Structure 1
């Protein structure tokens, strides 16, 4: 992202730091939760809350970054790799939060009172959780690319 003065001069790096930092910190935290808390249902619930918070950070940050790119560069923003990486990350957040997460929540609810991993829904849950994990890792790696390219 090009150097700008005024509000966008400090806002863009803050938004990018907040988003990408939250992505990586939540990934690390989720791993620690599952290694530390013996009750995996509880660990999963806490991790799920953290991932939801990060999704909303990403939705707001990504939207503001996209708007800023369009406001400063007009239609030429569509020719910039940074714009497309932010857009792809933002779409991944949308898909994860409003597509995959509700599906995972429904599978968990259908399994109650049992843990979803001890139910007939375990295979579907594992598959969709894997899809969500891959999408999240792609988002994390694209975020690192953004941080490197924005300097």
Structure 2
């Protein structure tokens, strides 16, 4: 039963990263103006970060209690959980607040018209790389969790 729970939670976590990063966020920017899309995606990313925190804690606990998992595989699982959580927290606690401050400072003209556009674009690029890394780690977690 613990193995099934680990797999289900790993799939939920990885799936949520994939759904938000590659479906919901691009869709929001395709149909909404950039300010509205940014607000919607920011709310989704906040919820994703809290989900990541909860799932990391539960998965770590399930891994610790897993009698069917040897020590080497447990280290892998802990590493994947920590890596995914780190990616999520760096974006949520580090990059998102900086990007929000730039958006707010830009005012109604928007970020693209701001002198900080280059910084914003760089932060956005770093966040995309972190979500890609989290996506890959999520796939590995799903495979290792079963």
* Structure 2: distance between partners of 1:67 and 1:49: 28
* Structure 1: distance between partners of 2:139 and 2:51: 16
Q: CA deviation at 1:80?
A: 2.1
Query: Hey, what does 1:104 align to over in structure 2?
Result: 99
Single out whichever of 26-35 and 131-140 deviates more from structure 2: 26-35
Give the direction of change, closer, same or farther, for the CA distance of 1:68–1:150 in structure 2 (3 Å limit): closer
Q: CA deviation at 1:126?
A: 0.3
CA contact (8 A) 1:26 1:50 kept: yes
* 2:61 is the alignment partner of 1:67: yes
TM-score calculated relative to the size of structure 2? 0.87
RMSD over equivalenced CA pairs, Å? 2.2
Higher RCO (CA < 8 A, seq sep 6+): 2
Gaps of 5+ in 2: none
Give the direction of change, closer, same or farther, for the CA distance of 1:77–1:52 in structure 2 (3 Å limit): farther
1:2-17 alignment, distance < 5 Å? 5=1, 8-17=2-11
* Structure 2: distance between partners of 1:64 and 1:40: 35
Query: Hey, what does 1:127 align to over in structure 2?
Result: 122
CA deviations 1:39-83 (Å, max 9, x no partner) are 11111211111111111111110122123323447xx47962121
* Structure 1: distance between partners of 2:81 and 2:40: 27
Single out whichever of 130-139 and 13-22 deviates more from structure 2: 13-22
CA contact (8 A) 1:52 1:97 kept: yes
Q: CA deviation at 1:110?
A: 1.3
- The number of residue pairs the alignment matches comes to 144
CA contact (8 A) 1:58 1:90 kept: yes
Single out whichever of 59-68 and 125-134 deviates more from structure 2: 59-68
Query: Hey, what does 2:12 align to over in structure 1?
Result: 18
TM-score calculated relative to the size of structure 1? 0.84
